Amino acid sequence: MTKSCIHSVFAAILFVFCLSAEGLCSNPVEFRATELSRWTPQETTSVALVGGTIRLSGLNMARIISPAGLGIEPRGFISVRLLTRNDNYGFIILGLADGRRVSKRLRLRGSHDLSEGLREHSVYIGDIIGPSDRIEGVALSITGSREIEADVASIRLFDPTFLERAGIYWKGLWEPDFIDTWTISFVTTPTIANTPLPPIIVLASLLAAFIIILAVYIRQRTIKSGAAIRIVMGSLIAGWIALSVRMDYNWLVILGQEFTDLYGKEESERIKEVNNRDINEFVDFTAYMKSVVPADKKISAAFRKKGNPLETLVAYYALPIITSRDPDIVWVYGISGLEFDPSSGTLSMNGEQLPYRVRLYAQYGDAAALFEVITR
Amino acid sequence: MMDALYLILAIALPTMAGTLFVARVLDTGFGLAARLSLGFGTGMGAVTYLFLIFGFASVPFSLLPFIAALVIASGLLAYRLKLPSATCSSCGAVEENSGILWKIVSALLVVLIAFKLLFVFFEATHRPVYSWDTWTNWSAGAKLFFYQKGLLLDSADEHFFGKGYRPFMGHPLHATFMQVWSGLWLGRFDEALVKIYSFFYFLAMLALFYVAVKDEAGKKFALVGTYLLSSIPILTYHAQDGYADLPLAFYSLAAVVCFWKFLATERKGLLVVAGTMLGFGVLTKNEGLFYIVAVGLAFILARYGKAQSRGAFLRELASLALPVIILAGPWFVAKFAMGLGFGHGLGGSEFNWLSDPLYTEGAPKGIHWEVIGKSLKEWMLTANFGLMFPALAVSFILGLKQIYRSDLKYLYIVIFSVMAAFMFVYLTLEVTTVMDATGIHRNTLTYAPIILFTLTLLASRIFKRSR
């Protein structure tokens, strides 16, 4: 009910905006999963064709790149059907015949359940490629500070009909925000065809004010300056409220999601849930460390500099155990390249050796270990 | 259930002491809701001051000394206190006729504000600390001080004053102490509940704003303005995490509201409360200094030569300045004595004039004029503050005559002074935080409520609803 009311308020604005849009019609070019699975993966852990989709996995990024020389005529829009497990950002990168690379960012709201159904993300690209450009290559990049896992069904370049285009703008206008580590610095501004909503509303408000002033003048044959100013101010305030209602819609969606994700959960589960970094296993490791290291001992990260993200997180989450440059216990997370000589007590990683002798204190699965400092 | 009780006490006890202080200082000028809001800000600021006193006196952090101090202070403040009327006698209540349409609109706005409060409360109480700067700037130090039960002031200590857990030693500690305060009441450092203070600053700000506007411009402008304030998107996020920008926004708004009321009533008590708020602002963020300069400048321009005599002017100035000096002075003495520095940005704790090392490493020093265009773009084209900046520009042009002829010009002096101070910092020091937009909106958040307050008053004048 509330959502439909909010949608209705904006329908008129969008309708006016869409009237000015051009209608271009060319045949779409679509790359389906079978073809996408043959694209070149980059910084991607795995690409697997599963049914009608490819499943991309990566640590901080997953990217697939098309063969060069596609020679595609420009289209106005690009659409990707996919679903990510976490909230991520996507980039559609287009390589043009003149050597330029242009890109569009997608905000990908994730779902822990990848069987939920794919989402279609369509974006206007007419502002980054000209009518005479040719698209020679396409890449899809999914990034984020969390682990990447995504099902991708298709990438499509197309020129929508007038109504399709209006639908895409409408959907884009209501694309909800999500909370991530950047949210505290800035929020995502809704757009219509890549034009930010605030200036559109300001222009619409001023236009409405002008029409009202004109109507009053025609009817009364006069209008006082004070009345005109009040009409402009009233119109701007109405526009501001409209924008606020649109932004409030974000909280409605976020609250619905967050209530499911956070309510009634243990603190450790909530920490995993809200962190945009891929620290789920790391949170468990920190909890393990707190369970085996006495509170009066001091710890330090081996082979990680002060300020390294994981070092900072351990220093925080391990409290009351203090992180010190003069530690009793050192921890190693990610033991690839780790060399430990129990007889001499030397610990090294990729050629770097600790300046003190240690002995194994505890082992955390295959991923991490704690060492007790014997002598300095 | 017990957590809820403890957190209520954590908020109620300082609020009681703060409200009694406000009641003692202000004989008139505000209704009960505004007094409670100001009392909350005063009380929480006092808790920070107590943390500094106990910390430097090496009194281990535990509830007992804080409760004792607050109860004793409340007793002293309540002694022979004549309770002022809960209604605001000096406020020009505006008679309003309300049609059915307004009743529907106002009901809708109330629902939207209530929804926002519900959302923020849920997030503040369920979402653990999640943003990087909260961890590194405020929460890590809070957690360390909580478990160490003190400020670690042994200069030989590796973690002296939180070193190693606090990257910027010169940062004021209000947000950090607010988290320690919640932790002390809960008996543990709860990753979500330690930042509950943000929600209450949000609530107190909305209440203060509503009352301050309603007293002068009526319920309609107050309700619309309060809705717009509650809907500032970035403010909503800050109200649920453990940051310092929202508390500073509260203190600066409270100071400006008191200053504004003073211009109408000439009651010196309002200047004392304004000065108190400015002082607590400095204990919240270094940027609090900008507000002291801005409000001080506006005060001098408004009162110099207009007060009854030079002596009266000096007494008024003292009413404003003394609380600032008493509250902020010791902190600055400590900062200088301990060599904590003032820099708060990405470059470290020292100033790097004309060269932000993260923006142009190795480049020749110079003023980064590009931040002006970028700032305008961020203010005008993004939705972080709704239509606040387009509305500020348009209304300033349309309402110039109203502004010039009324005391509103002093509010604009505050706004433009603060904006100029921030712009000076952007041009000469903090380029990165504007160019990658990681800092500009947070800074703007601290004066956005003042802009909205001013805009609402201007709009009410344009619509002929206020004095």
Percent of chain B with pLDDT over 90: 73
Chain A residues whose beta carbon lies within 8 Å of the beta carbon of residue B387: 198, 201-202, 205, 236, 239-240, 243
Cβ atoms A190, A197 nearer than 8 A: yes
Task: For residue B295, give the nearest of B328, B265, B317 by alpha carbon.
Answer: B317
Position A21 scores a pLDDT of: 45
Rounded CA separation B256/B260 (Å): 6
- Between chain A and chain B, how many beta carbons pairs sit less than 8 Å apart? 173
Q: Residue A61: enclosing H or E segment and its boundaries?
A: strand A61-65
* Confidence label for A7 from pLDDT (cuts 50, 70 and 90): low
Percent of chain B with pLDDT over 70: 91
Is B187 in the A-facing interface, judged by CB distances under 8 Å?
no
Is pLDDT above 60 for A5? no
Position B348 scores a pLDDT of: 46
Q: What is the DSSP secondary structure assignment for residue A228, as one 8-state letter? A: H
Chain B residues whose beta carbon lies within 8 Å of the beta carbon of residue A307: 167
Residue B131 within a domain: yes
**Residue B32 has which token pair?**
């009960």
ipTM of the complex as predicted: 0.91
pLDDT tens, position by position, A163-187:
989 998 998 888 888 787 777 888 8
Rounded CA separation B380/B85 (Å): 43
* Confidence label for A309 from pLDDT (cuts 50, 70 and 90): confident
Residue A294: count other Cβ atoms within 10 Å of its Cβ. 9
CA distances from A375 to A328, A338, A362 (A): 10, 20, 18
Rounded CA separation B31/B22 (Å): 11
**Residue B65 has which token pair?**
């000394």
Position B363 scores a pLDDT of: 63
DSSP result, A9-37:
HHHHHHHHHHHTS-------EEEEHHHHT
Which residue among A190, A243, A258 places its CB closest to the CB of B127?
A258
Residue B85 within a domain: no
Rounded CA separation A167/A14 (Å): 10
Rounded CA separation B225/A291 (Å): 51
Position B460 scores a pLDDT of: 94
Residue B108 within a domain: no
pLDDT tens, position by position, B407-429:
999 999 999 999 999 999 999 88
* Confidence label for B345 from pLDDT (cuts 50, 70 and 90): very low
Position B326 scores a pLDDT of: 96
For residue B187, the SS3 value is coil
Whether the CA torsion B440, B443, B446, B451 is positive or negative: it is negative
Position B112 scores a pLDDT of: 95
Chain A residues whose beta carbon lies within 8 Å of the beta carbon of residue B134: 184
Residue B372 within a domain: yes
Which residue among B126, B135, B224 places its CB closest to the CB of A316?
B135
pLDDT tens, position by position, B230-278:
999 999 999 999 999 999 999 999 999 999 999 999 999 999 999 999 9
Q: Residue B451: enclosing H or E segment and its boundaries?
A: helix B440-462
Rounded CA separation A11/A285 (Å): 50
Residue B98 within a domain: no
Do B115 and A248 count as a contact with CB atoms less than 8 A apart?
yes
Position B300 scores a pLDDT of: 96
A13 CB-side CA count, 13 A: 27
Task: Summarize the confidence of residues A187-213 as an average pLDDT.
Answer: 93
Burial profile B396-410: b = 16 or more Cβ within 10 angstroms, e = fewer? bebbeebbeebebeb
The whole-model pTM stands at 0.90
Do B381 and A241 count as a contact with CB atoms less than 8 A apart?
no
pLDDT tens, position by position, A64-88:
899 998 999 888 999 999 998 877 8
Cβ atoms A265, B409 nearer than 8 A: no
Alpha carbon of B395: minimum distance to chain A alpha carbons (Å): 7
pLDDT tens, position by position, B3-45:
999 999 999 999 999 999 999 998 766 788 999 999 999 999 9
Q: Residue A349: enclosing H or E segment and its boundaries?
A: strand A346-349
Rounded CA separation B440/B434 (Å): 5
* Confidence label for A8 from pLDDT (cuts 50, 70 and 90): low
Which residue is listed with tokens 């305060």?
Answer: B181
Task: Summarize the confidence of residues B390-399 as an average pLDDT.
Answer: 95
pLDDT tens, position by position, A106-119:
888 888 777 778 88
**Residue A101 has which token pair?**
């690379």
**Residue A182 has which token pair?**
């950047």
pLDDT tens, position by position, B58-72:
999 999 999 999 999
> Which has the minimum average pLDDT: A324-338, B39-53, B390-404?
A324-338
Best mutation target, A1, A107, A186, to test chain B (most B CBs within 10 A)? A186
Residue B107 within a domain: no
DSSP result, B103-157:
HHHHHHHHHHHHHHHHHHHHHHHHS---SHHIIIIIIHHHHHHHHHTS----TTS
Position B131 scores a pLDDT of: 85
CA–CA–CA angle B414, B415, B420 (5° rounding) = 100
Cβ atoms B452, B209 nearer than 8 A: yes
Contacts of A248 (CB under 8 A, 6+ apart): A6, B112, B115, B116, B231
- What's the structural domain count of chain B? 1
Is pLDDT above 70 for A17? no
pLDDT tens, position by position, B83-120:
666 555 555 555 567 789 999 999 999 999 999 999 99
pLDDT tens, position by position, A339-357:
888 888 898 888 888 888 9
Best mutation target, B144, B387, B442, to test chain A (most A CBs within 10 A)? B387
Position A10 scores a pLDDT of: 56
Do A179 and B231 count as a contact with CB atoms less than 8 A apart?
no
Residue B241 within a domain: yes
For residue A109, the SS3 value is coil
CA distances from A156 to A30, A50, A122 (A): 4, 19, 9
Is pLDDT above 70 for A336? yes
Rounded CA separation B339/B341 (Å): 6
Surface-to-core class of residue B80, CB atoms within 10 Å of its CB (0-12 exposed, 13-18 middle, 19+ buried): exposed
Do B387 and A247 count as a contact with CB atoms less than 8 A apart?
no
Domain that includes residue B415, residue range? 2-79+122-340+355-466
Task: Summarize the confidence of residues B134-149 as an average pLDDT.
Answer: 93
Is pLDDT above 60 for B432? yes
Position A194 scores a pLDDT of: 82
Do B128 and A319 count as a contact with CB atoms less than 8 A apart?
no
**Residue B46 has which token pair?**
């006092």
Residue B105 within a domain: no
Do B236 and A306 count as a contact with CB atoms less than 8 A apart?
no
Q: Strand locations in A144-249, DSSP E?
A: 148-158, 191-192, 195-196
Position A175 scores a pLDDT of: 85
**Residue A48 has which token pair?**
């697997």
Rounded CA separation B101/B169 (Å): 54
Alpha carbon of A223: minimum distance to chain B alpha carbons (Å): 15
Q: pLDDT averaged over chain B?
A: 90
Do B383 and A274 count as a contact with CB atoms less than 8 A apart?
no
pLDDT tens, position by position, A229-252:
999 999 999 999 999 999 999 999
Do A189 and B384 count as a contact with CB atoms less than 8 A apart?
yes
Contacts of A327 (CB under 8 A, 6+ apart): A298, A299, A300, A373
